[in-house]
Amino acid sequence: MSYVDEIIQQVTEKNPGEPEFHQAVREVLDSIRPIVDANEEKFRRDAVLERLVNPERQIKFRVPWIDDQGNAHVNTGYRVQFNSAIGPYKGGLRLHPSVNVGIIKFLGFEQIFKNSLTGLPIGGGKGGSDFDPKGKSDREIMNFCQSFMTELCKYIGADTDVPAGDIGTGAREIGYMFGQYKRIRGVFEGVLTGKGLTFGGSLARTEATGYGLLYLTDELLRSHAYTIKDKTVVVSGAGNVAIYAIQKAQQLGAKVVTCSDSTGWVYDPDGIDVAALKEIKEVKRARLTEYKSYRPNSEYHEGRGVWTIKCDIALPCATQNELDIEDAKALVKNGVLAVCEGANMPTTEEATKYFQDNNVFFVPGKAANAGGVATSALEMSQNSERMSWTFEEVDSKLKKIMENLYHNIDDAAKKYGFEGNYVAGANLAGFEKVLNAMNAQGIV
């Protein structure tokens, strides 16, 4: 059995009940075969892949908190510090009832390669909790965040591990966590990114993942002699990534006709009204059912369905495995040109292959949504300098990072004989840099 297959089998056996982690490892290891196969003996001797798939550290802790009625609850908190070969661990904190160790490990593993692709010095990590922020009062959110950080603060720091937002963790939660970190550790430092602008946050961080996704999509299309202007775009999700992806797509002249949340989806033939969407989701924290009261011409549907709408570009921006083989077939039948992932691993393995087999440009999340973490790293730089850059400065750096990133994965795909396969290109380019740093630092 090849070394790659042996490790894929080992990961499956040693991490039972963690299908998302298995999926992420399988996808990465499969595409780095050309490098591994060419160095199999040395890699086996140095246990390169074992060190890659086993987190450096995995922390699991109890998070007790008290609700507004005085009842105590206990959630589970996680931080997986996966790989620090190229810099301090960096990756978001997910607050969602579906969170378990397998999901955090899948996200942390992906983060290693994503962070490497940004070209910035950041290692891979991820964390979160099975806490459900939905329906909680501000005070309950604060209680939870303070309790979560009371434990997490022992393991993080500006030069060791710098968490950020993710599903369920936005500016409000980062603010509460930062306050508690500062109170316990007694230092004001850049330990979290996505902070408010009055206490060390970076301009353009809120917009970065969605904007970055569009900068990359635009560069991809232009490199293939297409333009994004006047294209019809279908987006899933209605959170941080989706909102700013829709905004930037519109600024670039495209028409975005859908968005969705965990209960339903909206079709707006005149183009999504971003101001209305922001008010519903960011201010009222309400359901998309409200959208119709702002835009009478739109349709609201319960359940899933955005991928049935005819489009040129599809941008899945909600959550993992939200676009399956049936969705992929519908998109291809409707003539989709490009699928770029705003979320992490939103496309199933089968659907990914279907896109590739049908000549759809497909860019995986670890490349396409890297603008968020890249801008987080820019926030870290500003914190270290004790300076704040203008929106335009940050945004233009982000644009350059995403354009370079596209060309790096395109070049890597070509170098290893997989032209046009951006999954392989992203994994190979991301891995090359991490491998180099791991080799140089010895067996640690």
Residues at the site binding ligand NDP, with contacts judged by CB under 6 A: 165-168, 209, 237-242, 261-262, 317-319, 342-344, 369, 372
Distance CA 395, CA 401 (A): 10
Task: List 258's β-bridge partners, or say none.
Answer: 267
Q: What is the rounded CA–CA span in Å between residue 112 and residue 106? A: 10
Cβ nearer to ligand NDP, comparing 92 with 418? 92
Nearer to ligand NDP, 33 or 105 (CB): 105
CB of 94 to ligand NDP, least distance (A): 7
DSSP H helix total and E strand total for the chain: 18, 13
Residues 6+ apart with CB under 8 A from 355: 328, 331, 332, 339, 347, 362
Contact yes or no for 6/327 (Cβ under 8 A): no
Which residues are catalytically annotated?
A: 126
Interstrand relation of 161-164 and 89-95 (parallel, antiparallel or unpaired): parallel
Smallest separation, CB 308 to ligand NDP (Å): 16
Strand partners, 371: none
Question: Longest Cα pair distance anywhere in the chain, in angstroms?
Answer: 65
CB of 371 to ligand NDP, least distance (A): 8
Measured from the CB atom, is 191 or 438 closer to ligand NDP? 191
CB 212 to ligand NDP: min, Å: 9
As to burial, measured by CB atoms within 10 angstroms (0-12 exposed, 13-18 middle, 19+ buried), residue 379 is buried
For the bound state, the minimum distance from the C-beta of residue 164 to ligand NDP, rounded and expressed in Å, comes to 7
Between CA 251 and CA 273 the distance in angstroms is 13
- Residue whose CB is less far from ligand NDP, 3 or 215: 215
Task: Report the SS3 class of residue 299.
Answer: strand
Q: Which residue lies nearer to ligand NDP by CB, 122 or 438?
A: 122
